[in-house]
């Protein structure tokens, strides 16, 4: 009913070797070299991690922020299948693909950071698991969700391989897979916030609150839409396709609605807990709080008016701002607002930054290869020529 | 086009699911836990400590840890903080001219840094794989490297900064005081308490240690008083006279309640000028290691903690959202119901034969 008018997805085509894919290749090679050193000589050999900051950017950026950036698939699937907004159907596959990469890499990134990775099976071993642990819940949900997303994406692969039978079989159970695919991210995206609760007073009051799960969930949803705006504009420009403004404009409106609820909860909570004065102290944390707030409030001004929501440049900018705001809130909670006492400092090493860059490079490279070779993006009359 | 009615159904279903979840699981707070009745621990009295660091050396030996150096010549074990290889450390507070001990201004004081063995430990709540556990009887917070995945959530979570990780090793472990639980089966108690010359660190049941701490707080500063050393026995247990005990006498070692007997090592000394605060009595629901001091605890590096443990709040949130998976299943049920309708409608779409849509 809803997507009758949409063009079916088709591979974009074109060459795979260009400046972007080559740069990605170099970054990935560097990451591989650094990881070899890390696994041979330990975390201390390549990272600036210490007992005051046992978690660095591999956790805060690659996993916590990375997985929130990967919420496009979840946000769009919810819109299309739960709220039955079929007109956004063409956005499902590209968003799902980005999420698939984001999450799979977040899962892989955790393995680089685990000091005793060979014991990781205990996370699923009945006599080892600790259901009281927030980390346990996050790990199990993320692992399950990665599997769920690969199943959600499998029709694309079956379609490419011409396995219609397998495709139809998966299709029959798809409604349940899709339902799982909305519940699991709700669970672990909220729990990524709850991870901080047990840290107690070590997290600055501007970021330590019992409503963390709600804040992280709401922000993950609007970040999901923000990523869709970002990625859709970027893909259209890079592949010289028409920007899908007719879909992005209403999505931006939904995004702003959730953002507004989020801002009310965020500010209301800070005031209710009496933490607001801490935002006016001359501290790095206060500065970061306002920077974060600015990123959340600016999009309301930028694309608050319907006319502005039709402007692709403004949509793109608003998307970037919200991704940045959500990322800052996570970085602030996990690193900048974290203080364990004692004279500890942490600033990521070049090696840590290169591994994070390498992970994003895998994502970009994978996205390019798959959209050029698999039916992900909607077919367009003018195919990409390069 | 997706109708408004379908959209509203989606809204209703998710709203109903969320409400069902909340109603089915009434909000229940997980109270902060208290110490087990037979909890074991230490009492550290900063006013008795002379800063000799015999406990630091004994801890290294008992746990077979390597020396750590902070000086150019690498002659002695000189760690500046606890680490994956140093589970116990005496730190020094210095102020101004350092004229007198246990004096905040122009004075100095010592503080022992080691695991507090919390009644409601954050590290145990945090650990996803039960590598960090609290013994139900002794309350000792122990570590099992064979389960540990090295995620370092315990390091992040501990308000005392106690679990530490060995970053220099590809197979790094978490290092922390386990109250020498590996020595207990042979009747030996914590090495730090066993060697402490002035009895600044005592080993015993936390309930006994707490009574001893209160006894000290009631003393008049400067007045001669008797102070035990080593193993603090329960009030009803009598130490054997020096000749008739296991330690160093004859060949037979006597044990009582599993612990080797030792002679009465108590001695008389003037009482210190205590702050009226037993650190660890109430902090985070109480800890099994208790501390006394003449100088403000925060100045000595002990955090000012509320009486409720962060683990209680974390688990309250976690269990209310996910307890018995009621809420997730309620939401999943609603989502499945709605998705089934909407995904089907995709399939039935006549123009595309339902082929392209399910994904």
Query: pLDDT of B63-83, one tens digit each?
Result: 999 999 998 888 899 999 999
A43–B343 C-beta distance less than 8 A: no
Interface membership of B310 toward A (CB under 8 Å): yes
Segment among A177-186, B301-310, B317-326 with least mean pLDDT:
B317-326
SS3 B45: strand
B200-232 residues labelled b (16+ CB within 10 A) or e (exposed): bbbbbbbebbbbbbeebeebeeeeebebbbbbb
Residue A256 to chain B, least CA–CA distance (Å) = 17
In B, residues 170-189, which contact A (CB 8 Å cutoff)?
170-173
Chains A–B, number of C-beta pairs less than 8 Å apart: 263
Of B319, B349, B359, the CB nearest to A4: B349
d(CA B252, CA B233): 21
Burial class (CB within 10 angstroms; exposed 0-12, middle 13-18, buried 19+) of A241: middle
Element (H, E) at B267: strand B267-270
What is residue B226's three-state secondary structure?
strand
Interface check for B302 against chain A (CB to CB < 8 A): the answer is no
Query: What is the ipTM for the molecules in this complex?
Result: 0.91
Q: Is B4 on the interface with A (CB under 8 A)?
A: no
The tokens for A356 are 């994070």
Compute the C-alpha angle A203/B129/B134, nearest 5°: 80
Q: Per residue of chain A (386 residues), what is the pLDDT tens digit?
A: 344 456 778 888 888 888 899 999 999 999 999 999 999 999 999 999 999 999 999 999 999 999 999 998 888 888 888 887 888 888 888 888 889 888 988 888 899 999 999 999 999 999 999 999 999 999 999 999 999 999 988 988 898 888 888 888 888 888 888 889 989 999 999 999 999 999 999 999 999 999 999 999 999 999 999 999 998 888 888 888 888 888 889 899 999 999 999 999 999 999 999 999 999 999 999 999 999 999 999 999 999 988 999 898 999 999 999 999 999 999 999 999 998 877 889 999 999 999 999 999 998 899 899 889 888 888 875 444 44
**Residue A335 DSSP class:** I
- Per-residue pLDDT at B351 exceeds 70: no
Q: Are A5 and A376 in contact (CB under 8 A)?
A: no
- Residue B352: its pLDDT value, please? 41
Residues of B in contact with A340 (CB under 8 A): 156, 161
pLDDT of residue B14: 57
In chain A, where are the structural domains located?
Answer: 198-340
To the nearest whole percent, how much of chain B has pLDDT over 90? Answer: 68
Q: How far apart, in whole angstroms, are the C-alpha atoms of residue B189 and residue B206?
A: 14
Nearest CA in chain A to B9: A83
Residue B168 is nearest to which of A2, A42, A139, comparing CB atoms? A42
CA distance B95 to B97: 6
Go through the domains of chain B in sequence order and give each one's CATH number. 4-31+314-347 (no CATH), 40-307 (3.30.70.20)
CA A250 from centre of chain: 21
Q: Identify the band that residue B9 occupies on the pLDDT scale cut at 50, 70 and 90.
A: low
Average pLDDT over residues B326-332: 87
Q: Which of A42, A170, A178 sits opposite B167 (nearest CB)?
A: A42
β pairing state of B141-143 and B164-165: unpaired
Tally Cβ neighbours within 10 Å of residue B257. Answer: 9
Write down the pLDDT at residue B279: 97
- Point out the residue among B149, B156, B340 whose CB comes nearest to the CB of A120: B149
Task: Locate the DSSP E strands across A216-356.
Answer: none
CB proximity under 8 Å: B 118-137 to A: 122, 125-131
Tally helices (H) and strands (E) across chain B.
Answer: 9, 14
Which residues on chain A are in Cβ contact (under 8 Å) with B11?
83
**Which one has a higher pLDDT value, B189 or B355?**
B189
Nearest alpha-carbon partner for B288 in B183, B139, B178: B139
Q: Distance (Å) from the C-alpha of residue B69 to the closest C-alpha of chain A?
A: 17
Chain B residue with the nearest C-alpha to that of A192: B318
* Predicted confidence (pLDDT) per residue in B93-146, tens digit: 999 999 999 999 999 999 999 999 999 999 999 999 999 999 999 999 999 999
pLDDT per residue as tens digits for the range B177-229? 999 999 998 899 999 999 999 999 999 999 999 999 999 999 999 999 999 99
């Amino acid at each position: 009913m809803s997507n009758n008018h949409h063009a079916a997805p088709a591979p974009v085509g074109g060459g795979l070797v260009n400046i972007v894919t080559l740069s990605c290749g170099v970054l990935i090679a560097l990451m591989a070299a650094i990881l070899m050193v890390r696994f041979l000589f330990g975390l201390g050999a390549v990272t600036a991690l210490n007992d005051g900051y046992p978690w660095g950017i591999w956790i805060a950026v690659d996993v916590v922020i990375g997985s929130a950036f990967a919420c496009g698939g979840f946000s769009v699937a919810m819109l299309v299948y739960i709220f039955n907004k079929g007109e956004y159907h063409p956005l499902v596959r590209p968003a799902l693909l980005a999420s698939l990469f984001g999450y799979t890499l977040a899962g892989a990134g955790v393995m680089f950071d685990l000091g005793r990775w060979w014991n990781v099976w205990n996370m699923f071993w009945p006599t080892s698991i600790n259901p009281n642990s927030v980390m346990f819940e996050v790990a199990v949900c993320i692992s399950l969700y990665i599997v769920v997303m690969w199943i959600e994406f499998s029709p694309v692969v079956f379609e490419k391989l011409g396995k219609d039978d397998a495709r139809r079989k998966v299709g029959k159970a798809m409604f349940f897979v899709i339902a799982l695919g909305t519940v699991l991210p709700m669970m672990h995206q909220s729990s990524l916030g709850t991870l901080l609760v047990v840290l107690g007073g070590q997290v600055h009051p501007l970021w330590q609150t019992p409503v963390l799960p709600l804040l992280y969930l709401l922000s993950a949803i609007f970040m999901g839409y923000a990523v869709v705006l970002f990625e859709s504009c970027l893909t259209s420009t890079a592949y010289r396709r028409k920007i899908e403004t007719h879909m992005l404009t209403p999505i931006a409106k939904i995004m702003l609605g959730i953002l507004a609820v989020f801002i009310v909860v965020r500010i209301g909570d800070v005031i209710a807990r009496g933490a607001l004065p801490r935002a006016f102290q001359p501290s790095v944390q206060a500065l970061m709080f306002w920077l974060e707030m600015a990123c959340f409030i600016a999009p309301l001004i930028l694309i608050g008016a319907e006319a502005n929501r039709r402007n692709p440049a403004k949509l793109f900018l608003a998307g970037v701002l919200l991704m940045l705001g959500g990322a800052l809130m996570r970085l602030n909670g996990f690193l900048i607002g974290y203080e364990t006492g004692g004279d500890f400092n942490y600033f990521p090493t070049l090696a840590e930054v290169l591994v994070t860059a390498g992970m994003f490079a895998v994502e970009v490279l994978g996205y390019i290869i798959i959209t050029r070779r698999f039916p992900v993006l909607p077919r367009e009359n003018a195919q990409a020529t390069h | 086009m997706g109708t408004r009615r379908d959209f509203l159904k989606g809204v209703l279903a998710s709203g109903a699911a969320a409400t069902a979840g909340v109603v089915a699981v009434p909000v229940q707070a997980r109270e902060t836990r208290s110490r087990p009745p037979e909890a074991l621990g230490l009492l550290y009295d900063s006013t008795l400590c002379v800063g000799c660091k015999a406990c630091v050396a004994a801890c290294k030996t008992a746990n077979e840890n390597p020396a750590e150096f902070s000086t150019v010549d690498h002659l002695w074990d000189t760690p500046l903080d606890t680490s994956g290889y140093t589970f116990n450390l005496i730190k020094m507070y210095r102020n101004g001219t350092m004229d007198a001990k246990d004096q905040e201004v122009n004075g100095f004081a010592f503080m022992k840094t080691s695991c507090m063995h919390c009644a409601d430990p954050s590290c145990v709540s945090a650990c996803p794989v039960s590598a960090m556990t609290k013994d139900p009887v002794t309350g000792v917070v122990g570590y099992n490297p064979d389960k540990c995945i090295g995620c370092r959530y315990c390091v992040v979570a501990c308000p005392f900064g106690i679990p530490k990780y060995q970053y220099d090793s590809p197979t790094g472990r978490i290092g922390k005081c386990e109250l020498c639980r590996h020595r207990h089966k042979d009747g030996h108690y914590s090495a730090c308490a066993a060697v402490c010359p002035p009895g600044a660190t005592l080993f015993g049941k936390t309930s006994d240690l707490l009574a001893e701490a209160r006894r000290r707080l009631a003393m008049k500063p400067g007045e001669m008083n008797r102070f035990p050393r080593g193993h603090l026995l329960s009030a009803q247990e009598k130490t054997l006279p020096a000749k008739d005990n296991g330690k160093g006498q004859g060949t037979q070692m006597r044990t009582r309640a599993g612990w080797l007997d030792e002679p009465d090592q108590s001695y008389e000394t003037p009482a210190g000028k205590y702050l009226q605060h037993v650190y660890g009595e109430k902090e985070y629901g109480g800890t099994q290691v208790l501390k006394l001091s003449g100088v403000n605890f925060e100045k000595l590096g002990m955090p000012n903690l509320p009486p409720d443990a962060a683990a209680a709040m974390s688990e309250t949130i976690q269990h209310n959202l996910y307890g018995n998976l009621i809420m997730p299943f309620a939401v999943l049920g609603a989502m499945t119901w709605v998705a089934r309708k909407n995904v089907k409608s995709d399939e039935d779409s006549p123009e595309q034969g339902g082929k392209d849509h399910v994904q």
